[in-house]
């Protein structure tokens, strides 16, 4: 079955890099995603990566995918107070044949220390 | 313009009542979804619809019934509400396969409180 695991909390100091890790079990996952949820708000897609890629960079965000170990990470450089949120890892088998839903991890609460 | 909108944003109701949550997307997407986020922030898919057809129906009580009057709308009707139904319900939509962007766009959520 599908399962996505994340640590529940990560505390970092402002200005440091944050690395949020995720593992998944379904080897047929096609796309992997990172969503951000601020308090009381909806889900904002930060980035996604195709399973045939190893890395994707977008400004302060770097996504690394180790398909062999089924490990996904999100690195946020120069973490700011505005980055404080819950970060969800999600996988999809969006193979193009239908309407696959996302399987989410339990979310990592990123706490920024001054 | 809001891409995926939901109404109402907050819904407080008593046990046993029947209620509906509406969702609309103006992105021209073919596929729409309902997710439930519980008090611990765990998110789980409930349903997905593709071109007005039900595709995914996870183990959700049959008190929950999605209704899609057209491609742009997916409403969630809940009968005989229970305390355990209290959660935030998110609607989402995604483009058709091959459209280039494999993203799901989420609505702002509807916080349902059952008393």
Contacts of A44 in chain B (CB under 8 A): 106
Report chain A's C-alpha Rg in angstroms.
14
pLDDT(A102) > 90 = no
Render pLDDT for A49-80 as a digit per residue (tens, 0 to 9): 988 889 999 999 999 999 999 999 999 999 99
**What is the band of A99 on the pLDDT scale with cuts at 50, 70, 90?**
low
- Closest CA of chain A from B84, distance in Å: 19
- Nearest-10 Cα torsion for A40, B17, B32, B9: -30
pLDDT(B49) > 70 = yes
Q: What are phi and psi of B85, to 5 degrees?
A: -80, -10
The verdict on a CB contact (< 8 Å) between B102 and A92 is: yes
The verdict on a CB contact (< 8 Å) between A99 and B50 is: yes
Q: CB contact, 8 Å: A96 with chain B?
A: yes
Chain-wide mean pLDDT for chain A? 89
CA pair distance A16, A81, nearest whole angstrom: 11
The verdict on a CB contact (< 8 Å) between A99 and B94 is: yes
The pLDDT score that the predictor gives to residue A110 is 97
Render pLDDT for A25-47 as a digit per residue (tens, 0 to 9): 877 767 889 999 998 888 999 99
The pLDDT score that the predictor gives to residue A28 is 72
Chain A residue nearest residue B111, CA to CA: A40
Q: CB contact, 8 Å: B27 with chain A?
A: no
> If phi over 0 gives left and psi between -120 and 50 gives alpha, with beta otherwise, what is residue A30?
alpha
The pLDDT score that the predictor gives to residue A51 is 83
Strand duo A55-58 + A61-66: pairing: antiparallel
pLDDT(B113) > 80 = yes
| Selection from B12, B8, B43, B33 nearest residue B22 by Cα | B8
């Amino acid at each position: 079955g599908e399962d996505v695991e994340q640590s529940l909390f990560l505390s970092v100091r402002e200005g440091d890099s944050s690395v949020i890790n995720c593992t998944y079990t379904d080897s047929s996952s096609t796309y992997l995603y990172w969503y951000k949820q601020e308090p009381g708000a909806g889900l904002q897609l930060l980035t996604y990566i195709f399973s045939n890629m190893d890395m994707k960079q977008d400004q302060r965000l770097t996504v690394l995918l180790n398909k062999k170990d089924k490990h996904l990470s999100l690195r946020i450089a120069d973490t700011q107070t505005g980055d404080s949120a819950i970060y969800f890892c999600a996988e999809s088998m969006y193979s193009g044949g239908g309407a696959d839903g996302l399987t989410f991890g339990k979310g990592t609460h990123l706490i920024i220390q001054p | 313009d809001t891409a995926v909108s939901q109404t109402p944003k907050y819904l407080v109701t008593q046990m046993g009542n029947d209620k509906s949550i509406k969702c609309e997307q103006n992105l021209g997407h073919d596929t729409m979804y309902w997710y439930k986020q519980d008090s611990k922030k765990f998110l789980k898919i409930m349903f997905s619809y593709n071109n007005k057809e039900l595709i995914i129906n996870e183990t959700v009580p049959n008190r929950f019934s999605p209704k899609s009057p057209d491609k742009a709308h997916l409403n969630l009707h809940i009968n005989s509400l229970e305390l355990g139904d209290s959660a935030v319900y998110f609607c989402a939509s995604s483009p058709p396969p091959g459209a280039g962007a494999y993203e799901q766009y989420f609505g702002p959520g509807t916080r349902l409180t059952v008393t």
